[in-house]
Structure formats: structure tokens, C-alpha cells
Structure 1
Amino acid sequence: MRKRYLLWGLLSFTCLPFAVHAQTIVTVNAGTDLFIATGTPFSAAGLGLTPSAPFIINGNSIEQAETATTFTNNVYAKPVYRFTSPTAPFSGTVRLQYSEASLNGLSEATLRINLSNGSRWMAASSASNDIAGNTVISIPVAGEVLQEMALADAAKALPLRWGALTVTREGTSHLVKWTTLSESNVSHFDVERSADGRNWLTVAAGIPAQNAGNGHQYRATDRTPLAGQQWYRVRQAD
């Protein structure tokens, strides 16, 4: 089965690929330590950490966000809990609470806490899925750097990690550039354009993927751009 993943941009000739909305729930300023002793539960707005070894947070913040910044194939519940910088290695259990309205079609019985260190996801096995209390607790993890935490199913391998997407004017054409951070078993890319963000036209098709483990830079030219604001997106096909 062919799968497709999208990199989007709203362009006025230059763009960022995603908008991520987040709310800060804890801030620990640089030079100040938040020390969590062994076995001491720490809780903040639905996130719980109980370390099995002393855990220190310094110069970092914890956010609630609607969108994960570490890309994943998994459907996940909202919110995503995120440290603004990767933590020191954490050992212990992680607890996440959820509302049934935020499950995004996931089954409560199979929820697992997915952890990201900023470059890859892992799914921690569940010690407890308390459906009545809308809470999932992981089994103890050991030495995991934490950056993002979300409720999902078991983590899936990600064939591609996106970098940035930009568009610039070159004479009467638009030059679309995008980067990947890693690729595996990707077939090709298609570049599409839209005047309204709903109806799309392919302007460059079948650009071969390089499947570079450390990513690659790509470009394509739209020789018949529209007047005014327009959207571009890059579609990836496995």
C-alpha cells in the first residue's frame, strides 16, 4: 500500500512548514534546580514523573501542545507534553492523564505512553491503564532523555523526517526548496500548489528520493505561479 506524508506551507514566497501552539505549565530558570528525589511524585497539569533516581530539571520549561514537533506516523491523543530542551536521562515512571474527547479515535485499552528524545520515539509498556480515571502509567524506563510525551499506540518507524520548506521568486517562476533530516524507503516527492488551501494542482511530479540517512536538500520550480497569495505543499510517497 502506498502511503503519503505531507509537508505544508502557506506562502508569501517564504514560509515555515508548521505552526505549533503550546502553553507553558512549568518554567525552571537557568541557575535554578528543580530537584525531584527518588520515589517522589512530580505532577503538572496531567503529567506525572516519579523518578527511581534523583532527577534534576534546570533551565527548562514544560509545555502542553496540540502538535508533536518530533515527527511520528502514530495517531496520538492531545495534549503533547514537551520539554523545551532535552532533559538529563530520566529513570522511573511516567504518568499521563487524558480526556475521552482528546483520544483522536484511539482505544483507551491499548494506550501507551510514547516518549521522544527529540529525534526518535519509543513506546513504553503500560503498567496501568486506568480507564475510569483516564490515566496511563508506564512501566519504569531507564536512562531516557525526555523531550516529548504523548499517548498513542506502539511507536511506528518513521520513513522520513521533514526539515524546512521555503519558496522564493525567481523572475516569473517560484523556486520551492525543502529539506529532509532522514529518509528510508521513500519513493519520490510531488510538489502541489493551491489558491485556497483546499484544491491542489501538481506543479512538479516524481522527484526521486535520495533515501539519505542524514537527509537531503531538494528543489523544484513552478513556472506558472498564480498571482497573489498561494499555498504549496510537498507530498512524499513510499
Structure 2
Amino acid sequence: MNRYIIPIITLLLTGNIFKTQAQFTSGTTFHILGGTTASINGLILTPTAVAGLTLSNQILNVSSVAIPGSPTNSINRVYEFNTPINFFGKVGIKYLESELNGNVEDNLKLAYYNDEELYVTTGPTSGTGEIDVNQNLVSHSFPLILTKDLLKITAVEAGSELPVTLIEFAAKRSEQEAFLSWSTSMETNSDYFEIQRSSNGKQWSALAQIESNGESKTLKTYTYTDVTPLHGQNLYRLKMVDNDGSYTFSQMKSLSFNLNLASVYPNPVVDKLNIKADDWAKVKNIEVYNATGQIQQLNKLSQSPDSQIREYEFREMPSGVYLIKTVRKDGTEQTVKVLKK
């Protein structure tokens, strides 16, 4: 379906115009005539009179989550298209004072993002900008010679930079190891990345720190390998720390490992129980319980010629079912059921 905008029309999305999160879908073709002003959930677009603007299969998302910046974060109103729009004309944002997020209103400037320029806070060299504090409106005009690809649009105080600290964070299994990688497209005042791991999403432990590039406007890629993941679920996240001590967290990534902490044999057992572990230095202790949950004392026999195998006396144990629990120093556990004849 083809849709056209004729002079001065306001498009309201589902719910209130200042809804925390909203979405606009253009359909197959959505055309704004040249010289016409259209407001889409507070984003005001006025294409130049010599050419209109056609949106094809576009989705415009609106979020109240600010873009981190230095020294000031963006306002709490961020627009994002699913694909960049090629635009020349006037762009404006109708904001609420409650969305200023610490920015001085008189100094607001439009800011935009595309994959080539990254985040740009507009100024005199990129066209003409203005702020109308009475109307809570910040705008910027892009002439034909400064046509821009616009993917994200927001506003921030003049002089602030909006870094894209993290554009990708991935976690992949490589046999029994976790390979983590992440990329940044811009870093400002950045100190280091702390890699954190958790089994439940509540208690986190730091695995390592990797120094960042500090100041960068080019793509940077980092990697880290967790060579001793936990048995079961492993949650990973990045703590991104700036020079002033402030920090933000990345999204969590999850990997699952079915690690055989120890092999227990023979099963059933008659007189001697063998327990094999790849690395006994990582084992905190071995616990044995009978069917009623009472802990049992086992005598360790002479060390097997194979350093990975330890032998335990089971001859005098009453017949029945026993649980052999291997507890590693990192807190992971494995329980194996054995039958004593």
C-alpha cells in the first residue's frame, strides 16, 4: 500500500506520543512530500522542497534509554530506523523537559548515527541548528550538499561525544572452552573491560581484566577464552570501566557445558573404588554419602601409577547405594550414584 503525507500532518503511534517505547511501521511505501512537515512520535521531518522522502518497509523505534556520552549522556529520547534513511532537509525532536537527562537545554544539539560516521553531534560545519526552549524543540537543517544517512537520532549538549562503546559481544563454545569476543566502534575515556561469569545471574566473579584502547574512533576487537568454564550454565558479561571509575554492563551471554568433573568406577563396586579427575589441583574434596544422606569416611589406598586416578577402600562398606560427590574449588559439583555389592 502506498501512503502519502501532505502538508503538516502528525502521526501518533499506539499510546501516548511520549510513550517510553513505541514503534512506527511505514508499510511498503510511505512518502513525505518535499517541503512538508511530518511528526512521527515527536520526530519532525521536513524534506527539502526539491525532493520528498520515501520510506519503504521502514520501522522506527523510539526508546527512552539514553546513549552514553562524554561529558554528557544524550537526552532520554532516541529514535532508531531499521535501515538508514538518506535525508536532506530539516530534522527536529520534540522532547519533554523530564527527558533532558542533565543536558543544559539552551545548549542542546541534534546528534545522529550512521555506520560510516558513527555518532556525530551537529555543529556549524554540518548545517544549521537551532533550539526553541519554549516549544521544547531542537532541530537541525542538512543542505543538499550535506545529505546524511540517518540510522539513530537523538540530542545532546554541545561539545559532548556519544561513543558507541560496544557494538557486538559474542560467546561461543570451542570444545570445553568458552571463547568471548567483542567489538567497539568508538571509545572515549575508556579504561578497561572486566570479564565476569556467573552460574545463576546473581553472584558474579571476575575472570580477567583487559585494557581498552582509551581513545579510539575506529573499530577495535577484543577476545578472551575461559579455559575452565563451570559445569552447566555459564553466564558471561562485560563490565566496561571508564577512567573516572564509572562503568556500564553489557548484555549477558549464556553457554552450557556438560563437564565430566570426575569418572567413578567400577560400578557396581566390590572392594576398590577408582576416581579419575583430569586435574586434581582443581578438586577441593570428595564426599561420599549413604542412602540416608549420612557422610561416610573412606580410606585412600596407595596412589595409582596413573596420577589422574585415586583409589579408595570400599571393601568394608555395607551393601547399598552410595553417592560420590566431587566438589571443585570453583564451586562446581558432580554427583555420581554407585552400587556397593
**Aligned equivalents of 1:196, 1:101: Cα separation in 2:** 36
Shift of 1:177: 0.4
Secondary structure at 1:109 match in 2: helix
Letter in 2 for 1:83: F
Letter in 1 for 2:88: S
Tell me if structure 1 keeps the 8 A contact 2:178–2:227: yes
Larger RCO (alpha carbons 8 Å, 6+ apart): 1
- Alignment of 1:137 with 2:134, yes or no, is no
1:151 aligns to what? 155
Give the count of matched residue pairs. 210
Letter in 2 for 1:117: N
Shift of 1:41: 0.8
1:80 aligns to what? 78
Secondary structure at 1:38 match in 2: coil
- Alignment of 1:104 with 2:101, yes or no, is yes
**Aligned equivalents of 2:138, 2:241: Cα separation in 1:** 34
1:39 aligns to what? 35
**Aligned equivalents of 2:162, 2:93: Cα separation in 1:** 23
Shift of 1:103: 1.5
Tell me if structure 1 keeps the 8 A contact 2:119–2:164: no
Q: Which TM-score applies when normalising by structure 1? A: 0.70
Secondary structure at 1:101 match in 2: helix
Structure 2's unaligned 5+ residue stretches are: 1-19, 244-341
Change (3 A) 1:44 1:108: same
Tell me if structure 2 keeps the 8 A contact 1:204–1:221: no
**Aligned equivalents of 2:36, 2:186: Cα separation in 1:** 41
Higher strand proportion, which one? 1
Q: CA RMSD in A?
A: 3.5
Larger Rg: 2
Tell me if structure 2 keeps the 8 A contact 1:124–1:139: no
Equivalences for 1:50-199 in 2 at 5 Å?
Answer: 50-52=46-48, 53-54=50-51, 55-67=53-65, 75-87=73-85, 89-119=86-116, 120-125=118-123, 127-141=129-143, 142-154=146-158, 155-156=160-161, 158=163, 160-166=165-171, 168=173, 171=176, 175-182=178-185, 188-193=192-197
Secondary structure at 1:193 match in 2: strand
Structure 1's unaligned 5+ residue stretches are: 1-20
Shift of 1:75: 0.6
Shift of 1:230: 4.8
Shift of 1:24: 1.0
Shift of 1:216: 2.7
Change (3 A) 1:92 1:78: same
- Alignment of 1:202 with 2:206, yes or no, is yes
Change (3 A) 1:110 1:235: same
Change (3 A) 1:111 1:50: same
Q: Which TM-score applies when normalising by structure 2? A: 0.51
